[in-house]
Amino acid sequence: MTEFAPAPAPAYLTRTQERALALTIAVVTANAYYIHPIIGDVARAFGVGEAEIGLVPALNQLALALGILLLLPLGDFYSNRRLCLIFVAGQTLCLGGMVLAQDFILFTAASTLLGFVTIAPYLIPAFASKRVAPERLGQVTAQLTAAVIFGILVARVSAGIIAEHADWHTVYIGAFVLMVAVTAFMPIAMRSETTAKQPQSGYGALIASVFTLAARHPDMRLSAAIQGLNFGIFTASWLALALHLTSPAMGYGTDDVGYLAGIAAVSVFTTPRLGRWADRVGPRTARVAAALVQLAGIALFYPLGNSIWGVLVPLFLVNLVGPTVDVTGRMTLFTLAPEIRTRLTTSYIVMMFVGGAIGSALGTGVYDWGGWAATCGLLLAASCCVLALSLYAERRWRGDSAASLS
């Protein structure tokens, strides 16, 4: 009788590798968020208004969406390690351009190009999802998402404090130095290679396959729409809050906004735990619960928003569960075939950052038009949509599951 050799065990990432990838994600993610607490200072330095300065984060995120659409699909066919090295080096050069920019147009152009090449934080989770045990997928996805949150947290806190005690320009000099270090560190952080295969068709067919796969997976489209709204809430709330608190009526400094951003630390610790919980109850059920808690927090922004102490309550609730909406959305993608995950992630992240760009423009534009009250109304409407779509997604999935069993 012929004996068959057992299949080789999967080459899973070590805990050290997981932490190294998380650190890398934190640093490269931070670049887009230094502007949040210092947006008023940057506007005054370049002599532009509140609506105009909103173009900087809005164009950065639109460019990121475009970069993800055009560049991220390459991760299904080419070395993730090589792609990350190229894109991280590109980010470093763009930050250098922001440091050297002497006028608003050049600064915005460099920031926009920076967004276009910020691909590494979205390649790495797809890379890791192929190299973790299935029962740890939610935990590791949440850990990498927590790294994004940590990067945003450090960016906003440090930018506010540095700008208050030095100037906003120093913030970007420090960011450039960090990126030089990360560029040198990346070959070590991504020692493991993905199993890459050469594409059987041209680049145009590869990009077209993103749309084809999106059309075949309506659950992905629904998750992406939910996260687009969710990320729009995130960007709109923080940009408007920075303008609100540093306005003459409120009179707080950028360092106060930076300290306030420290509330996001709660999600660094809770998101991995909520990810493990989502492993147990299912991502769609967990997303509904997170959306409900987030809606409660958003509803408190207006009544508590005229005090920096009062606003801590809604910020705590939103930061407690907001990232879980993203984690659970990604979990619905990472259970699908490994060879299409990067392209499905492409569609998901594109919609996410389109939502973030719209949130950046609306958050500053609506604040310029109607103040804090109008902004809170916008956030509440978007949060209601997140909850409604999350409920629909869960019921739709339960219906499909019941039909497949009958």
* pTM score: 0.75
Q: Is 10 part of any domain?
A: no
pLDDT tens-digit series, residues 213-259: 888 888 889 999 999 999 999 989 988 998 898 888 888 888 887 88
| DSSP element (H, E) containing 89 | helix 80-100
184, 151, 155: which is closest to 171 by C-alpha? 155
Q: Which domain holds residue 400?
A: 15-189+202-405
Q: Is 38 part of any domain?
A: yes
Give the chain's mean pLDDT: 85
HEC profile for 111-175? HHHHHHCCCHHHHHHHHHHCCCCHHHHHHHHHHHHHHHHHHHHHHHHHHHHHHHHCCHHHHHHHH
Q: Is 116 part of any domain?
A: yes
Q: Is 231 part of any domain?
A: yes
Write down the pLDDT at residue 340. Answer: 76
Q: Is 8 part of any domain?
A: no
User: What is the amino acid identity at position 247?
Assistant: S
Write down the pLDDT at residue 193. Answer: 55
On the CB side of 355, CA atoms within 13 Å amount to 25
Look at 404 and 121; give whichever has higher pLDDT: 121
Taking phi over 0 as left and psi of -120 to 50 as alpha, with beta for the rest, 152 belongs to: alpha
Averaging pLDDT over each range in 172-176, 316-320, 395-399, which range is the top one? 172-176
Alpha helices, DSSP H, located in 246-337: 254-261, 265-281, 283-299, 301-304, 312-334
pLDDT at 10 over 60: no
Structure tokens at 374: 């109008």
Q: Is 197 part of any domain?
A: no
- Mean pLDDT confidence for 355-377: 91
User: What is the amino acid identity at position 245?
Assistant: L
Instruction: Give the pLDDT band (50/70/90) at residue 200.
Output: low
Q: Is 1 part of any domain?
A: no
Write down the pLDDT at residue 59. Answer: 94
CATH number of the domain that residue 139 is part of = 1.20.1250.20
pLDDT tens-digit series, residues 127-177: 777 777 777 777 787 788 778 878 988 898 899 889 888 889 999 999 999
On the CB side of 255, CA atoms within 13 Å amount to 7
Q: Is 122 part of any domain?
A: yes
Domain count, the chain: 1
